[in-house]
Amino acid sequence: MSRLTIAEVLRAALREEMARDDRVFCIGEDIAIPGGWGGAFTVTLGLEQEFRHRMIDTPISENGFCGVALGAALMGMRPVADVQYSDFLFCAMDQIVNQIAKMRYMSGGKLTVPLVLRAPVGSTGRGAQHGQNPEGMFLNVPGLKIVCPATAYDAKGLLKAAIRDDNPVLFFEHKLLYGAKGVRSEAGSVDASSEIPPEDYVVPIGEGIVRREGSDVTIVATLLMMHRAMAAADVLSQRGISVEVIDPRSLVPFDWELVTSSVKKTTRLVVVFEGPKTGGVGSEISATVSELLMDYLTAPVQRVASPDIPSPFSPVLEEVYRPGVPEILEAVTRIV
Amino acid sequence: MNYTKDFLIGLYRQMVLIRRFEERVKYLFLEGVMPGTIHQSQGQEAVAVGVCAALEANDVITSTHRPHGHALAKGVGVEPLMHELFGKVSGCCRGKGGSMHVGDLNKGMVPAIAIVGAGVPVATGIALSFQMRKERRLAVCFTGDGAVNEGAFHEGVNMGAIWSLPVLYVIENNRYAASTPIQSAVRVKNLSERASGYGIPGVTVDGNDVLAVFESAREAALRAHSGGGPTLIEALTYRITGHSRRDPCNYQPEEERRTAIEKEPIRRFAQRLLSHETADQAELDRIGSEVDVEIEDAVRSAMAAPDPAPQDAFEDLYA
CATH 3.40.50.970 fits A2-196, yes or no: yes
Q: Does the pLDDT of residue A98 top 80, yes or no?
A: yes
- Spatial distance between the Cα atoms of B225 and A226, rounded to a whole number of angstroms: 52
Q: Kindly report the CA angle at A172 between A166 and A174, in degrees rounded to 5?
A: 155
Say if CB B45 and CB B11 are below 8 A apart.
Answer: no
First to last CA, chain B: 48
At A65 the pLDDT is 98
Q: Which residues of A touch B159 (CB under 8 A)?
A: 58-59, 61, 64-65, 68
Residues of chain B with pLDDT under 70: none
- Count interface pairs A-B at CB distance under 8 A: 145
Min Cα–Cα distance to chain A from B277, Å: 43
At A163 the pLDDT is 98
- Give which of A25, A60, A110 to mutate to test B binding, by max B Cβ within 10 Å: A110
Is A61's Cβ below 8 Å from some Cβ in B? yes
Is the Cβ pair B92, A108 closer than 8 Å? yes
Q: Which residues of A touch B123 (CB under 8 A)?
A: 71
Domains A2-196 and A209-335 share a fold: yes
pTM for the whole structure: 0.97
Show which of residues 86-125 on chain A sit within 8 Å of chain B, judged by CB atoms. Answer: 94-95, 98-99, 103-112, 114
ipTM above 0.90, yes or no: yes
Provide mean pLDDT across the span A247-265. 98
Say if CB B72 and CB B48 are below 8 A apart.
Answer: yes
Does B23 fall in a domain? yes
Is the Cβ pair B128, A110 closer than 8 Å? no
Does B91 fall in a domain? yes
Report which residue type is found at B101: H
As a whole number, the mean pLDDT across chain B is 97
Is A145's Cβ below 8 Å from some Cβ in B? yes
As a whole number, the mean pLDDT across chain A is 97
Is the Cβ pair B319, A68 closer than 8 Å? no
Is there a cis peptide before residue A79, judged by omega within 30 degrees of 0?
Answer: no
- Give which of B89, B131, B132 to mutate to test A binding, by max A Cβ within 10 Å: B132
Q: Which residues of A touch B65 (CB under 8 A)?
A: none
Does B138 fall in a domain? yes
Catalytic residues of A: 130
- Spatial distance between the Cα atoms of B301 and B90, rounded to a whole number of angstroms: 10
Min Cα–Cα distance to chain B from A215, Å: 36
At B55 the pLDDT is 98
In which band, very low, low, confident or very high, does the pLDDT at A1 lie, cut at 50, 70 and 90? confident
Nearest chain B alpha carbon to A53: B132
Q: Which residues of A touch B139 (CB under 8 A)?
A: 71
Backbone φ and ψ for B21, nearest 5 degrees, come out as: -60, -50
Report which residue type is found at A241: I
At A187 the pLDDT is 84
Does B99 fall in a domain? yes
Which among B94, B118, B318 has CB closest to A167? B318
At A334 the pLDDT is 97
Does B88 fall in a domain? yes
Is A52's Cβ below 8 Å from some Cβ in B? no
Q: Which residues of A touch B122 (CB under 8 A)?
A: 67-68, 70-71, 74, 95, 99
Provide mean pLDDT across the span A214-218. 98
Q: Which residues of A touch B316 (CB under 8 A)?
A: 104-105, 107-109
Read off the CATH number of the domain in which B76 is found.
3.40.50.970
Provide mean pLDDT across the span A287-315. 97
Q: Does the pLDDT of residue A111 top 80, yes or no?
A: yes
In which band, very low, low, confident or very high, does the pLDDT at A172 lie, cut at 50, 70 and 90? very high
Alpha-helical segments (H) within B31-118: 45-52, 68-74, 78-85
CATH 3.40.50.920 fits A209-335, yes or no: yes
Is A182's Cβ below 8 Å from some Cβ in B? no
Burial class from Cβ neighbours inside 10 Å (0-12, 13-18, 19+) for residue A314 reads: exposed
Total of domains in chain B: 1
Say if CB A172 and CB A26 are below 8 A apart.
Answer: no
Range of the domain at B236: 5-305
Does B124 fall in a domain? yes
A71-92 pLDDT per residue, tens: 999 999 999 999 999 999 999 9
Say if CB B127 and CB B104 are below 8 A apart.
Answer: no
- Spatial distance between the Cα atoms of B280 and A143, rounded to a whole number of angstroms: 53
Q: What is the DSSP letter of B243?
A: S
A30-80 pLDDT per residue, tens: 999 999 999 999 999 999 999 999 999 999 999 999 999 999 999 999 999
- Spatial distance between the Cα atoms of B212 and B206, rounded to a whole number of angstroms: 7
Is the Cβ pair B152, A99 closer than 8 Å? no
Domain ranges in chain A are 2-196, 209-335
Q: Does the pLDDT of residue A186 top 90, yes or no?
A: no
Min Cα–Cα distance to chain A from B287, Å: 32
- Spatial distance between the Cα atoms of A209 and A190, rounded to a whole number of angstroms: 20
Helix-helix angle A62-74:B119-132, to 10 degrees? 60
